[in-house]
């Protein structure tokens, strides 16, 4: 399960750092490639040379010790990792991560990674029960960090209770299970690109044309696709939503920006879902200065059509790629949706009747009908957008001959 997997092991400054040496050895014996990062405090307990010898990989201790001028080490490590493990994790490192500090090689890497993060805390029993630590752990849990619970017993400080670093065998088992689950997830190995939100077309420095898309549907799709194992790129128009954990985001403003961002990733995408509400028109002229209302009882804005991103992607589509479009309609849903399916050369159109209560723009909920290239029609009942997203992704999988396991 672990053969060839890239694991970044962050060792922070506690007496349990010695157990991280045994862990490195066990992970390496299972075929994982382990790169160790140590905080300065950790080097007081165990030397970097110990980890270097056990992992046969370089050990990182200093953010500014850049060995290769072509690369930035903490970003490189963050991208390289299939999984990041922090063992032992001190109260200090947990607090820093919970509040977004980037003060050393461990925290900068942790902030930069999109890989799953597993934290194994180790500290004195009173520290782990302190409200500040409990609060930080729950903040991290909400961010999608996984925890490996500490054991109970005699602690190095003399106290008896909870706080001992989990045993290396137990940590190993949890890491193995994580890779095992990942392998069984239906989108593992696939790159899913999702567009979300509105686009904005500038009129002048203070005005633009846009629409009511909140991005909620697209962000829900991104979150569920990631949970189902996909590498996810979310191309997002201007919205005020948090990016789901583990999702790469590209922020765009105009239709043209969105088209360019889509074309950049289209070649290597396995699935592309165009959920964004793209502006169909853009002003012919963009005024460099604020337009004045004097001398205007009426104002005519000349607009020209924007490029149709979905059609452009449909024109370049690979046979093994699944292209999904949306259709926001208020009448004759089936007629317009199936027309879009054909005209835009998509594999699926997700139609939402945005004239219905609680469906479409801005809502937490939706209901859709999915039309696919095989002639299939699937009704997804009214529900929250995460459930609707799951049903849409299940239909994508069914076109690939797979399904989400219940």
b/e code 203-224 from CB counts within 10 Å (16+ = b): beeeebbebebbbbbbbbbbbb
Task: Pick one of 327, 333, 389, 397: the residue that binds ligand PMT (CB under 6 A).
Answer: 327
| Cβ-based nearer residue to ligand PMT, 119 or 277 | 277
Least distance (Å) between residue 337 CB and ligand PMT: 8
Dist CA 86 CA 94 (whole Å): 9
Asked whether 337 and 328 are in contact (CB, 8 A), the reply is no
DSSP three-state, residue 292: coil
Cα separation, 215 vs 195, in Å, equals 9
Q: Which of 10, 157, 180, 262 is catalytic?
A: 157
| Side-chain-side CA neighbours of residue 52 (13 Å) | 8
Nearer to ligand PMT, 26 or 216 (CB): 216
* 157 labelled catalytic: yes
Binding string, residues 103-142; x marks residues near ligand PMT by CB under 6 A = ----------------------------------------
Residue partners of 47: CB distance under 8 A and separation at least 6? none
Contact call for residue 255 and ligand PMT (CB under 6 A): yes
Residue pair 219/234 in contact (Cβ under 8 Å)? The answer is yes
Which of these ranges, 166-174, 240-248, 325-333, 372-380, lies near ligand PMT under the rule CB under 6 A? Answer: 325-333
Using CB under 6 A as the binding rule, whether residue 361 contacts ligand PMT is answered as yes
146 class by beta-carbon count within 10 Å (0-12 exposed, 13-18 middle, 19+ buried): middle
Name the strand (E) or helix (H) holding 170: helix 168-184
Is residue 19 close enough to count as binding ligand PMT by CB under 6 A? no
Residues 6+ apart with CB under 8 A from 150: 120, 121, 122, 123, 128, 162, 163, 164, 165, 166
Binding residue for ligand PMT, selected from 26, 74, 96, 340, defined by CB under 6 A = 340
The window from 23-31, 291-299, 323-331, 390-398 that contacts ligand PMT (CB under 6 A) reads: 323-331
Which CB atom, from 123 or from 327, has the smaller least distance to ligand PMT? 327
Q: Binding to ligand PMT by residue 362, rule CB under 6 A?
A: yes
356 by DSSP, 3-state: which? coil
Instruction: Compare residues 59 and 259 and give the one whose CB is closer to ligand PMT.
Output: 259
Q: Per CB under 6 A, does 306 bind ligand PMT?
A: yes
The stretch among 19-27, 56-64, 295-303, 360-368 that binds ligand PMT (CB under 6 A) is 360-368
- Distance of closest approach, residue 69 Cβ to ligand PMT, in angstroms: 41
Asked whether the beta carbons of 265 and 233 are under 8 A apart, the reply is yes
Number of residues counted as binding ligand PMT (CB under 6 A): 28
Residue 85 in contact with ligand PMT, rule: CB under 6 A: no
Residue in 256, 402, 242, 275 with CA at minimum distance from that of residue 349: 275
Interface with ligand PMT (CB under 6 A), residue from 54, 73, 119, 217: 217
Residue choice 310, 333, 389, 393 for contact with ligand PMT (CB under 6 A): 310
Pairing of strands 348-353, 365-372: antiparallel
CB-nearer residue toward ligand PMT: 55 or 214: 214
| Cα torsion 71, 76, 77, 78: sign | positive
Q: Is position 237 an interface residue for ligand PMT (rule: CB under 6 A)? A: no
The CB-of-368 to ligand PMT minimum distance in angstroms stands at: 7
The 34-73 contact track toward ligand PMT, x by CB under 6 A, reads ----------------------------------------
Whole-number Cα distances in Å, 207 to 236, 290, 292, 321: 20, 8, 12, 38
> How far is Cα 376 from Cα 395, in angstroms, rounded to an integer?
10
Minimum distance of ligand PMT from residue 216's CB (angstroms): 4
Pairing of strands 151-154, 201-204: unpaired
What does the per-residue mask of binding to ligand PMT show for 259-278, with x meaning CB under 6 A? ---------------xxxxx
Cβ contact 111:148 at 8 Å: no
The residues binding ligand PMT (CB under 6 A) are 197, 213-218, 255, 274-278, 280, 306, 308-310, 325-328, 340, 352, 354, 360-362
Q: Which residues are catalytic?
A: 157
């Amino acid at each position: 399960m672990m053969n060839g997997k890239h694991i970044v092991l962050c060792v922070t400054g506690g007496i349990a750092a010695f157990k991280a040496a045994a862990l490195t050895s066990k992970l390496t014996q299972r075929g994982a490639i382990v790169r160790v990062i140590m905080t300065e405090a950790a080097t007081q307990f165990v030397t970097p040379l110990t980890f270097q010898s056990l992992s046969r990989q370089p050990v990182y201790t200093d953010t500014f010790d850049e060995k290769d001028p072509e690369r930035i080490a903490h970003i490189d490590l963050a991208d390289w990792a299939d999984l990041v493990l922090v063992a032992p994790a001190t109260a200090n490192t947990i607090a820093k991560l919970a509040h977004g500090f980037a003060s050393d090689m461990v925290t900068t890497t942790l902030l930069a990674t999109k890989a799953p993060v597993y934290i194994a805390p180790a500290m004195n029993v009173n520290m782990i029960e302190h409200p500040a630590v409990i609060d930080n752990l729950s903040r991290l849990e909400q961010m999608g960090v996984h925890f490996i619970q500490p054991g109970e017993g005699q602690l190095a400080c003399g106290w008896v209770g909870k706080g001992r670093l989990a045993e290396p065998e137990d940590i190993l088992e949890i890491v193995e299970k994580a890779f095992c689950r990942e392998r069984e997830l239906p989108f593992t190995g696939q790159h899913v690109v999702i567009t979300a939100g509105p686009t904005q077309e500038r009129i002048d420095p203070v005005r633009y044309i846009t629409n009511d898309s909140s991005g909620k549907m697209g962000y829900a799709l991104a979150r569920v696709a990631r949970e189902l194992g996909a590498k996810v790129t979310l191309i997002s128009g201007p919205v005020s939503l948090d990016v789901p954990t583990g999702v790469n985001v590209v922020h765009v403003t105009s239709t043209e920006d969105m088209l360019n961002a889509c074309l950049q990733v289209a070649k290597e995408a396995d699935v592309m879902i165009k959920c964004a509400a793209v502006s169909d028109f853009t002003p012919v002229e963009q005024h460099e200065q604020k337009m004045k209302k004097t001398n205007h009882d009426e104002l005519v804005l000349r607009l020209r059509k924007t490029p149709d991103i979905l059609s452009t992607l449909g024109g370049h589509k690979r046979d093994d790629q699944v292209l999904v479009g949306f259709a926001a309609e208020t009448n004759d849903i089936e007629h317009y949706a199936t027309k879009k399916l054909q005209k835009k050369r998509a594999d699926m159109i997700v139609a939402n009747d945005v004239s219905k209560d609680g469906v479409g723009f801005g809502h937490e909920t939706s209901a859709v009908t999915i039309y696919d290239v095989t002639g299939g029609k699937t009704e997804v009942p009214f529900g929250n957008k995460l459930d609707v997203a799951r049903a849409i992704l299940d239909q994508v999988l069914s076109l690939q001959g797979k399904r989400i396991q219940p």
